[in-house]
Amino acid sequence: MSHSAEGAMDRLFVAVHLPSEVSSRIQEWADKLAEHVNFKKWVHPQDYHITLQFLGDTPTHRIEELTKGLQQVAGEHKPFKLGIQDAGVFGTSSSPRILWTGVGGDLNALAHLQQSVVSKMQSFGFAPEDRPYRPHITIARKFQGNQKFSLDEIGRGPDPIQWSVQELVLFRTNLQSIPMYETVGVARL
């Protein structure tokens, strides 16, 4: 499968990647949960991330210019602290689409960074999403239990842990692979 082929497309998104000690903290919690809460797909720990912007199908040859654009954005931002906190779901509360861990810490810095990414990507022709930005870390998708799902079962989420955000990552989605997301560009703050 040649990625240099004319017209080759990649599903891309911009995100904050989690350091391994943060991912393992979430994974411990998710593993305990998976024993009694049934979701169709649990996210691979190396795939945990906080999406800043989903770009979708993009010509592979644009990865380099997008990475340069992200490096310009990153250069205008200082590293900042985030943490994991709480847990919740998207979708109906009794049968959620997505189980997530929440993000705490310097959310203003995160929102500011996300805005900068969006306006930079707009200059490359990517339209901003029209929904408000809600930072989260997806843990599992598509509840499929026999009983109704209850938020009480999942408790407070993983034990809190903080880290310093030092970079933006441009990820490519490889749907058949595990882990599924591959770093194709990095921009240091």
Q: CA 28 from chain center: how many Å?
A: 18
Question: Rounded to whole angstroms, how far apart are CA atoms 81 and 105?
Answer: 6
Q: What is the pLDDT of residues 100-119, one digit of tens each?
A: 999 999 999 999 999 999 99
Helix orientation angle between 107-123 and 63-75, rounded to the nearest 10 degrees: 140
Known catalytic residues? Answer: 49, 136
Q: Are 149 and 143 in contact (CB under 8 A)?
A: yes
Percentage of residues in the chain having pLDDT higher than 70: 97
Model confidence band, residue 147 (pLDDT cutoffs 50, 70, 90) = confident
Residue entry with tokens 């499929």: 144
Tell me if 77 sits within 8 A of 189, measured CB to CB: yes
Average pLDDT of 130-137?
93
Q: Is the pLDDT confidence value at 164 over 70?
A: yes
Q: What is the mean pLDDT of the chain?
A: 94
The residue behind tokens 């989260």 is 136
Render pLDDT for 31-77 as a digit per residue (tens, 0 to 9). 999 998 999 999 999 999 999 999 999 999 999 999 999 999 999 99
Q: pLDDT band at 156, cuts 50/70/90?
A: confident
Q: Helices in 5-149 by DSSP H: which ranges?
A: 20-34, 63-75, 107-123
Q: Rounded to an integer, what distance in angstroms lies between the CA atom of residue 93 and that of residue 151?
A: 8
